[in-house]
Structure 1
Amino acid sequence: MWALRQPAPYEFERIDVPAPTADALTPGEVLLRYRLGGVCGSDLPPFAGVRNEGHQHTGIVGAPLHELVADVVASTVDRLTVGDRVVGTVLPAGLREYLAVPADQLHALSPTLPDHEAIGVQPLATVLCALSRMGDPAGRRAAVVGLGPIGMLFCVVLKARGAHVTGVDRVDRTAEAAMFGIDEVVTGQSGEWAAGLADADRADLVIDAVGHSQEVLADCVDAARPFGEVYVFGLPEDQYVLPIRRFFRKTLTLRGGVTTDWPVHLAAAERFLVDRRDLARAYVTDTYPLADVEEAFLTAMRPSAGRLKVILIL
């Protein structure tokens, strides 16, 4: 079967490797065939050669890519059957023709959403899981720092649940604001925005959708109002220095964590997008064939106005 691997940072090569077989599946696994993949922001550091000692990706066959729409070709579970079209997460190596993965990270799709719309189900599920850990946003002020593909999904869900949403990014997202539920677009550095806030404009809920920056997290602390919540969603570095005195004086709550209960949140994400087909279509902005995988990843690394999700098709 075909597969892609990185021989070096910023490079991919196509190779032939033995295909996994149905009889080699362990209980709880399914065998998938690739249909379409989405590039996540967390795929970009390993693509660039950044090594994470806890999650090595560089050089692994099929890495880095984990957002997938695929066909089930063999299954050991009753919930997913041969012929099902599924969406979910396949960490860390989805750039393969066939792959064996745990079924509990997948959801069988209805026929309603075509592949290029269904790919948004997986990242949206991560957002829904994160928000399930926070307070009810209805009638509250929410701020999302980082308006990439994930940050924009936070905005639209928060708005749908009744929040007043401020979105902050160095890229101007004015053109996308109405579609994604942003009431106030701030184009600029998060630190300057947070420092200039009046007390009445501080947020009850602040989402760090950037990651990898203790400075951005500190800005989120500054932007939160007393008794507010800050959620670390963008992947953090191993250790941060937190402005703990300001955090303490505001009586804030800090949350974060990986996605759990995948089938529940994937199903909810599909329902959300089925009701918002225009949103599902607007979310995907750049489509590349697998032959242009390097350009697809480089495009995802260059955020710009009008650019959101980058996908890879056969």
Structure 2
Amino acid sequence: MKMMLAARYLGPGQLEAEEIPLPVISDEEALIQVDACGFCGSDLSIVAGTHPRAKAPLTVGHELSGRIVQIRSSSTSLVPGDRVTTYPLISCGTCHACTHGNPHVCRQLRLFGFDVDGGMAEFVKLPVSSLMKLPEEMPGHIGALIEPLAVSVHGIARTNLEGVQVAAVLGGGPIGLLTALVAQARGVPHVVVSDILPSRLELATSLGLHAVAAGADLKKLVMELSDGNGADVIFECAGSPSSAREMTSLVRSRGVIVNLGVFKKPVEIDMQAVNFKEIEVLGSRVYERRDFQTAIELAMQLPLEKIVTHSFPLRDVATAFKQFKMGEVCKVLILPTEYVS
């Protein structure tokens, strides 16, 4: 039996590189040799054992790029050797959201790497329908950023940026930085990123963004840039109670707040400010297929290399996860090596 190495969630607090059988594909499936796979904030809850759906043993990972090595399909033009990423959402197809064109907010939404084995492995078996072709010239580490970039593309698309002069992004992690870069690419003159970690503010500055500490300094800068009116748009990317409290004071009257951050529990929001300022508050969850395509088209135009601050071989996944969990890093990638035996 051919074996491969995979990053396996084995129980609360346990993420290890483990040998498992090489997947065998069926009709309308493909076997992908993984070039790179990134950690996501949701992986923290999986490995902590607090995610409501993820059950051990499980191969984690849904931010990936690779090449097709085997494919069994009569319904696609994809062939072995093509570079691809995966659209990792698994929708039920029957709920109201699915039947009304919004399967990304399916009532029973599942994902690769959460509900079924993901791609932080040397190889991954995926449905052909989930594959999206990448340009041949796109490096593997950039391809692995398409999924988080699509999150930001979707969040930006939730509101109209026409006439927007000042946008504030709360949270300088990967999603916050990518959201800021997309907003900048869409022509917003002033994009401000806030965080509490100096390392993230330094990274934001290196990307050509306004970077400022959360709190009083952030409000001062936003008001200076907006003649005291407040930001036209706030993109909440931290999922933090403190950003939920401050976002209504940072946005102008009739401004827009887009929530991309995933809050772990209900938080306080100043609904009086929402009322008095007629603030529009919008949710943004994951992405649609068109957001993936937009992200693929946009990726090579953005300085995404700087987002990847650390990379590790697959055999060192436990060490990589410890680094990621510390929070000082930005995007951590696993780069699998050939290991089939």
Q: Give the TM-score normalised by structure 1.
A: 0.84
Which residue of the partner structure matches residue 7 of structure 2?
4
Instruction: Give the Cα separation in 2 of the matches to 1:47 and 1:201.
Output: 43
1:210 paired residue among 218, 229, 238: 238
Deviation per CA, 1:79-101: give whole Å up to 9, x if none: 43332111234422222343333
The yes-or-no answer on 1:81 pairing with 2:103 is no
CA offsets per residue over residues 121-160 of structure 1, 9 Å max, x none? 2211111112111111554210001101111111111112
Supply the distance in 1 between the matched residues of 2:310 and 2:193 (Cα, whole angstroms).
Answer: 22
Task: Indicate the RMSD between aligned Cα atoms, in angstroms.
Answer: 2.6
Find the residue that maps to 2:11 and give its secondary structure: coil
Query: What is the total number of aligned residue pairs between the two structures?
Result: 299
Aligned residue in 2 for 1:169: 195
Q: Is the 8 A contact 1:145 1:190 kept in 2?
A: no
Alignment partner for residue 116 of structure 1, among 114, 138, 141? 141
User: Which of 211, 215, 229 pairs up with 2:256?
Assistant: 229
**Cα distance per residue 1:160-183 (max 9 Å; x no partner):** 22221111101124533454341x
> Counterpart in 1 of 2:334?
312
Unaligned residue ranges in structure 2 (runs of 5+): 89-111, 337-341
Cα distance in 2 for partners of 1:103, 1:225 equals 45
Q: Residue in 1 aligned with 2:106? A: none
Residues 90-121 of structure 1 deviation map (CA, whole Å, 9 limit, x = unaligned):
42222234333344443211121211222222
Trace 1:46-195 onto structure 2 (pairs within 5 A): 46-49=46-49, 51-53=50-52, 56-63=53-60, 65-72=61-68, 73-76=70-73, 77-90=75-88, 91-92=112-113, 93-136=118-161, 138-163=163-188, 164-172=190-198, 173-182=200-209, 184-187=210-213, 189-190=214-215, 193-194=218-219
Gaps of 5+ in 1: none
Return the alpha-carbon distance in structure 2 between the equivalents of residues 149 and 129 of structure 1: 15
1:182-203 deviation digits (Å, cap 9, x = unpaired): 1x3212x447745996472521
- Residue 316 of structure 2 is aligned with which of 281, 289, 292? 292
Secondary structure in 1 aligned to 2:14? coil
Contact 1:67-1:89 at 8 Å conserved across structures: no
Distance 1:108 1:75, change over 3 A: farther
Residue identity matched to 2:288: D
Q: Contact (CA 8 Å) 2:172, 2:204: kept in 1 or not? A: no
Amino acid aligned to 1:136: L
Describe the shift of the 1:260–1:158 C-alpha distance in structure 2 as closer, same or farther (beyond 3 A): closer
Instruction: Tell me whether 253-262 or 123-132 shows the greater mean CA deviation.
Output: 253-262
Q: Check conservation: 2:87, 2:292, Cα contact below 8 A.
A: no
Q: Determine the structure 2 residue equivalent to 1:33.
A: 33
* Counterpart in the other structure of 1:252: 279
Question: What is the TM-score when the length of structure 2 is the normalising length?
Answer: 0.78
Partner of 1:14: 17
Distance 1:174 1:222 in 2: 21
Farther-moved stretch of structure 1 (39-48 vs 158-167): 39-48
SS at match of 1:95: coil
Identity of aligned residues (%): 26
Corresponding residue SS for 1:230: strand
